[in-house]
Amino acid sequence: MNLKVSSSSLRLNLVILAVITAMAAPTTDAKCAFKAIFNFGDSNSDTGGFYAAFPAERLPFGMTYFKKPTGRATDGRVILDFLAQALGLPFVCPYLQSIGSDFRHGANFATLASTVRLPQTSLFVTGVSPFSLAIQLNQMKQFKVKVDEQNHSSSEKKPKIPQPDIFGKSLYTFYIGQNDFTGNLVSLGVKGAKEYLPDVVSQIASTIKEIYALGGRTFLVFNLAPIGCYPAFLVELPHNSSDIDSFGCMISYNKAVVDYNTMLNEALRKTRIEIHDAHVIHADIHSVMLHLFQHPSSHGMRYGTKACCGYGGGAYNFDAKVYCGNTKTVNGRNLTAKACSDPYNYVSWDGIHATEAANKIVAHAILNSSYFDPPFSFHKLCDIQAID
């Protein structure tokens, strides 16, 4: 089911939620049924895993909130960060980060450029992460084994890991699949890329069932955002002018995303029947992001399909030869892709990922529970904290 919400309804819901959360000042006795978050994903929810394995992050990434690069593919926080804050939990530490991590409230297995399907190429050839969903699941299984071992150990000094019963009290989030969808679009086109999608949704469903066997009971699965509105894809993907809608987005690619999201929701519906005592929730962030791209001014922004950090200016401010934060010599000239001074006015950070401002709006919509199938309320399970 693809949830449809009118523009006026979306704005009203977000305003109401903003008022509620602003009034709900954080308290020391705030309670939440979820004691941890375990996340599986790609760069949309990576909080430092990829760069823990392959250190290379640099400013302007992280410029807004952290004032330094933290391995997040945006200027500040990702949706996962806001969700953790709202549930009264600390930011979720990357599983691959060996120094300074605290896993008592979960772990983040996501890495930049991850796919659901096993990669058929190397990171150093095409840039695809080796940490696919199957690898992330194996990491989760190993994490649970180590937690059980450490908690049965006689050692007085325990590492910063959770109690063994945490796995049934956790929220499991999935934000992955975009790279499976976009990775071969140029070479295969929409029709060719769609052939892989049944396998993608099948693997997401089977991963949920495996985590269920480990004790997981609440699963929140984000669908895909409208990639036909992203500046990078508007520049890189082949299309005709007739394929551009009145908002400047590519019709054919966005339709393919809707088809994928419908397929994903159907797979999740079937999964709910198989594990009927679990919550398996489809989060329709596609609708929220589409509205942001189409009506940025409705959310206090100025630019929908133009990147904040990039090179080239114009309608998209994106050039694949000079990616955000990089300097390249092109035709004898040194070119630098710089960040704008006002990322809060942009939906797109670097042409591929959302800004912190956009991520915050999406997080508010998720917490409002208006975009869930089936209906699910965080407010009934947690004292929702204000997110700044």
Residues annotated as catalytic (active site), given as ranges:
43, 350, 353
Q: Which two tokens stand for residue 73?
A: 């593919």
Provide the H-helix boundaries in 24-166. 49-53, 79-86, 123-126, 133-151
Bridge partners (DSSP) listed for residue 220 = 173, 281
Q: Are 328 and 335 in contact (CB under 8 A)?
A: yes
CB half-sphere exposure, 179, CA atoms < 13 A? 27
Distance (Å, rounded) from C-alpha 11 to C-alpha 17? 10
Residue 88 Rama label (left phi>0; alpha psi -120 to 50; beta): left
Q: Are 247 and 293 in contact (CB under 8 A)?
A: yes
Distance (Å, rounded) from C-alpha 311 to C-alpha 293? 20
Distance (Å, rounded) from C-alpha 351 to C-alpha 329? 21
Distance (Å, rounded) from C-alpha 219 to C-alpha 167? 12
Nearby residues of 96 by Cβ (< 8 Å), 6 or more positions away: 48, 49, 50, 52, 53, 111, 131
Letter for the amino acid at 345?
A: N
Distance (Å, rounded) from C-alpha 72 to C-alpha 5? 30
Element containing residue 211 per DSSP (H, E)? helix 197-213
Distance (Å, rounded) from C-alpha 293 to C-alpha 301? 10
Nearby residues of 320 by Cβ (< 8 Å), 6 or more positions away: 232, 235, 236
